[in-house]
Each structure stands twice: as C-alpha cells, then as structure tokens.
Structure 1
Amino acid sequence: MFGRRITFGKKQHTLGELQELMRPTPDADGVTRVFPKEIWDDPKVGAMLRDLGFNPDDPRNIRKTAEDYIAMFAAAKKRLDERSEAFNRDMTTRYGYCRAVPFLVIDHTIWDGEDGAFLYASMNLIGFDDWNVLMLAADERTRQMCGIAGHPGTVPAVTDVVAKHVTAWKARHEAALELYGVTATGGEGGITREQYETEKDTLRQEIVDKVGWMKPRIIDELVRIQG
C-alpha cells in the first residue's frame, strides 16, 4: 500500500513520501500538527482534508507535546493517589485496618515502551485510570482482615499475555490509519474519517473491555495461589 501513487496537482507522491511531510516537527507558529500547514496550502490536498471534516487547528490535528503528556500523566497519577486514599479510608472504616496499593493490569513495562505510546497517544488511554487498576493488599494483615488478594508485584505471565494483545491492537490501528491516510490524500480504496473514527472507538472499547474481563480472573488466580 505504501507504493500507491497519490496525485497532488502535477506532482505525484507515495504514501511514504507523504508521511515524511507529516514529520512531528512544529510549524512556524510553534504548533506541531499531524498534517502540517504546508500540506493545507496545496489546493487539492487542502480541499480534500477540509471535505473530510478537518481543519489545520482541529484538536485531532494537533500533536501533544512531551510537556502535555507529562502533565496528563501527573494528573492521572494524582487521581489514582486520591482514589487509593479513599479506598483505604473506606476499608479501614469497615474493617479497622487497610493498606492496599494499585496493581496495573497493563503494567509500566508496556506503558514505558513503544506500545505504551500507542495506548496513550492513539487510544487516549492512561494506565493510572480506573479501567486498568486493581486495588490489592500491600501486607498480610490487609489480606486477612479485608479479604482482598495480596499484591504480587509484577506478574510476567500477565504481562506477556497483555503485550501480545497490545501488539495486535496496535497493528489493527495502524492498518485503519493507513487506509484513512489513503483517503485523506486522494487515493482510492481507503476509508472515510467516520469509518476510521468508528474503528478507533471500537478498538479503544475493546481494549478497556478486555482489561475488565481480565481483572476478576487475575484476582481468582492470586487467591488460588495465595491460599
């Protein structure tokens, strides 16, 4: 598909050449865009992008900076800390003692890598949010008094399974994005913006649902192992 020829006026570009034009560097105004402003100046391509419902300053066309992501992660971590405090406070009121800590189903080894970038940059998912978190006992007293499974640290078997799922999800998104890119640049055989957004939303929900499906099974296995 990267060999497909796309016509911009009298000049032809491959999709690979267009991706080079879409380099993640700021425009003259300091804003980094998915489709940089120079592409919007092309009379055919700019018109096509606008027909597809985009404009240069559409939030979907603005790339987040490293500072944006740092702030986003910090806010999510703060929310997680607050939820953890509330959980421990409520459980202490109920049982007299609780020291529980978060367990991330998709753990930091994935979030810190290239696949993690796919999850937060393309799927708008943050690992500290509730969909990805289990509260597990930090000590034996909590496990016994509160009746919750003990925190195991990292679980390589879970990480391996999750990593395979994330790789497949990422490949599926890249395929949809490429098809949408064909349409956005005037090629044939692609998909519309609406179709791409639907596929992305469906994929995001599938990720959240899969993690939700795994949560009780992880707890059951921990309880079985811990006795």
Structure 2
Amino acid sequence: MFGRRTFGKQQQSFADLKKMMRPTPDRDGVTRVFSKELWDDPKIGAFLREAGFASDDQRNIMRTADDYIALFAAARYRLQARTETFNSEMAARHGYCRAMPFLVIDQPIWDGEHGAFLYAQMDLIGFDDWNVVMLAADARTTQSCGLPAHPGSVPALTQAMTGHVIRWKARYESMLEEFGVTATGGRSITREQFEAEKDALRQEIIGTVAAMKPRTVSE
C-alpha cells in the first residue's frame, strides 16, 4: 500500500506521511487518518490515490474516542440483554438460573496497552459472543443448571491470553512491513493478500478463544 516512492530527490514513505497526520477533525468535522489538506497536495495526494485510497474511504476515517465509547456501550448493552435472555430460558427449564458472563480475553487486556490492537485493528469487541462464557453467579445456579461457578478474575488466564495477544500483534505488524506501510516495508504482498492475511489472523484469534472456552469451563 505505502511502499517507498521518490518525489524529486526526496524519498517519501509512510513514516514521513505519518508525521503529517493530524488527529483533529477537518473543517467538515470528520477526523481522517490523512487530512483533507494532504489530498490537495499534488505529490502527496497522487501518492495516496495511487496506493488505492480516497479521502472519504472508510479506511481513512478515524473513529474518535466518543465513537469507541458508544461502540463499547452498545456491545455491553447487547451482552446484558443476552444474559437476561439466557437466565430467563434456563430458569424456565430448570426452575432457577442466575448466570453472569465471563470474558476469556478479560477487561484488563482490553483496557491495557494491547487492547487497541484488538478493537481498532482487528475490529473485535470483548463483550460479543465470541469472547463470552456464561457461568454461575451463585451455588444454587450451579446445582440447578449445572453451570460451573464464575471464578471472577483469573490471573493465570489473563497472563496466558496477554501472551497470545502480544504474538498476534507482532504478526500483524510484520504483515504491515510486508505490505509496505512502514518506512522499512518492502511491499512484497498485494493489498488483497494483506486483507486475506488480516482476516485469517482475526479468525485465528476468534478460534483460539473458542478453543479456550471448554478449558475455562472445566478448570
């Protein structure tokens, strides 16, 4: 996408362009990765268009902090609704149920230094089904519904999942290098290949969490 390109005697790279990015809204109130004024520059604008971007391309529109707050709030609301439905259905079947969600990749990871990789690069939200296991909130639920007890925080699991996230993040950054979106990148893969590898990584993350769920329940 952004391999090295020469404009006259000066070499222009993604790293150079990144210095010109402004994390502030343009005049129309939209915050873009590459601002409107960069697209008006004859050299930089041509470079970006040749790379397959457009000013109002979704990939060039940055989500704001408020956007993410709204996104997480909506996901949390959906989880609350699913929990209520789960408890209602299980209570109808077993006479009683008070379950609560357990996050395999839990809150400290999402709130930590690697969380943005998961939600901003991989478009994953921890409150969605892929990351959630319903576990018993009390002993009566375990007895009536057969659900294991909710353990609260599990530091060993958090540590293990943090290790996974760090490795996934490193793989993603390596993919960016291959695609040529860094100053040292060589553009050795196409945009289609990059998107395919990114999707494969996202599916691997979801698959790893799915494989962890039975282990979480059994332990």
Q: Contact 2:135 / 2:147 at 8 angstroms: preserved in 1?
A: yes
Q: Does 2:55 align with 1:56?
A: yes
Question: Partners in 1 of 2:197 and 2:37 — Cα distance?
Answer: 28
Mapping of 1:99-118 within 5 angstroms? 99-118=98-117
Question: Is the Cα–Cα contact under 8 Å of residues 8 and 42 in structure 1 kept in the other structure?
Answer: no
Paired position in structure 2 for 1:157: 156
Shift of 1:17: 2.6
Alignment of 1:43-192 (within 5 A): 43-182=42-181, 188-192=186-190
Q: Which runs of 4+ in 1 moved over 4 A?
A: none
Taking the TM superposition and a 5 Å limit, the aligned residue runs for 1:194-209 are: 194-209=192-207
RMSD: 2.2
- Given that residues 33 and 62 in structure 1 are in contact (C-alpha distance below 8 angstroms), is that contact kept between their aligned partners in structure 2? yes
Quick check: 2:34–2:60 contact (8 Å CA) kept in 1?
yes
8 Å contact from structure 1 (residues 180, 190) kept in 2: yes
User: For 1:114, what is the secondary structure of its paired residue?
Assistant: coil
Residues 125-168 of structure 1: per-residue CA shift (max 9 Å, x gap): 00000000000000000011100110000111110000000011
Q: Which residue of 1 aligns with 2:29?
A: 30
Same amino acid, percent of matched pairs: 64
CA contact (8 A) 2:177 2:186 kept: no
Contact 2:26 2:32 in 1 (8 A): yes
Q: Equivalent residue of 2:118, what SS?
A: helix
Instruction: Note if contact 2:21-2:35 (Cα within 8 Å) is conserved in structure 1.
Output: yes
Distance in 2 (alpha carbons) for counterparts of 1:136 and 1:162: 19
Q: 1:224 maps to which residue?
A: none
**TM-score, normalized by length of structure 1?**
0.86
Where does structure 2 lack aligned partners over 5 or more consecutive residues? Answer: none
User: Residue 23 of structure 1: CA displacement?
Assistant: 4.3
Cα offset for 1:188?
A: 4.5
2:212 matches 1:214: yes
- Matched residue of 2:114: which SS? helix
Tell me the CA shift for residue 220 of structure 1. 1.3
Deviation at 1:199, TM superposition (A): 1.6
SS at match of 1:134: strand
The Cα of 1:15 is off from its aligned counterpart by: 4.3
Question: CA distance change for structure 1 residues 193 and 40 in 2, over 3 Å: closer, same or farther?
Answer: farther
* 2:4–2:14 contact (8 Å) kept in structure 1: yes
Q: Distance in 1 between matches of 2:165 and 2:29?
A: 32
1:9–1:40 CA distance, 2 compared to 1 (3 A): farther
Q: What is the alpha-carbon distance in structure 2 between the residues aligned to residue 79 and residue 97 of structure 1? A: 22
Tell me: CA distance 1:188–1:102, structure 2 relative to 1, closer, same or farther (3 Å): closer
**Corresponding residue pairs, total:** 216
Cα deviation for residue 57 of structure 1 reads: 0.4
Change (3 A) 1:182 1:101: closer
Q: Structure 1: how far apart are the matches of 2:194 and 2:187?
A: 13
Q: 2:58, 2:13 → 1: CA distance? A: 26
Unaligned runs of 5+ in 1: 222-227
Higher relative contact order (CA 8 A, sep 6+): 2
CA offsets 1:186-223 (integer angstroms, 9 cap, x no match): x74443221221121111111000000100111111xx
Give the corresponding residue for 1:40. Answer: 39
Mapped to 2, the partners of 1:145 and 1:209 lie a distance apart of: 30
